[in-house]
Amino acid sequence: GYEDSADYQQHLSKVLADYDHPTGLIEELVSQLADAFWWIKVYRRDKEQIVIAQMTTILTGASVYVSRDEARWLETAEALGALLAGHELEDDAANLIQDLMVQSQHNLTSLWSGAVSRVLSDIDTLERLIDRQFKNIKLLMQAVESARFAPELHKKLKLEVEQLELQIQKAHEDQR
């Protein structure tokens, strides 16, 4: 699964390092935090890829020669992804996108809007999954803090009990 990927292992190591390499219960909670952060990243990437795929379908559907050519579809998707990421396109890719936009009578904004409207339910599902992960993170962070604080609280309570026992013992000795 994803837990075996090098990217995930690097992510997990960084999160554990941020918490000073905990052990035991806190290590498990922090590992679950790392999972939640990982899934948010995955869901966000999925959202972007769904929209890019739909944008590509809109553009290539307007062009007969591209819709029959899978390599051209992939080239269009890569160019759109780079364009949306703010990268400068090479001449061939820029010309391809420009030609397809003219043929489909779209600009980048109208293309984005059309794609999002077609995949809105998928985006909504991913947004709910992201929201659920943020709620998990909040609860896990509270659990980590509680687990970190619990030993200190236990020590304090133990000292208070010992002090009370000494007071009782002293009171018994004073009565004799």
Question: pLDDT tens digits for 72-82?
Answer: 889 999 999 99
Residues 6+ apart with CB under 8 A from 16: 22, 27, 30, 31, 34
Q: In the chain, what are the helix, strand and coil shares in percent, each to the nearest 5?
A: 90, 0, 10
Q: Taking 90 as the threshold, does the pLDDT of residue 93 lie above it?
A: yes
So what's the pLDDT on residue 171?
87
Dihedral, 160, 163, 165, 171 alpha carbons, nearest 10: -140
Is 28 or 170 the better-scoring residue by pLDDT?
28
Q: Taking 80 as the threshold, does the pLDDT of residue 62 lie above it?
A: no
Distance CA 76, CA 70 (A): 10
Per the structure block, which two tokens stand in for 55? 């944008």
Q: In this predicted model, what pLDDT tens digit does every residue of 1-19 receive, in sequence order?
A: 888 999 999 999 999 999 9
Sign of the CA dihedral running 40, 80, 104, 66: negative
So what's the pLDDT on residue 64?
55
Q: Taking 60 as the threshold, does the pLDDT of residue 170 lie above it?
A: yes
φ/ψ region of 18 (left if φ > 0, alpha if ψ in -120 to 50, else beta) reads alpha
Residues 6+ apart with CB under 8 A from 19: 26, 30, 144
Cα Dmax for the chain: 105
Q: Which residues of 150-166 are buried (b: 16+ CB within 10 A; e: fewer)?
A: eeeeeeeeeeeeeeeee
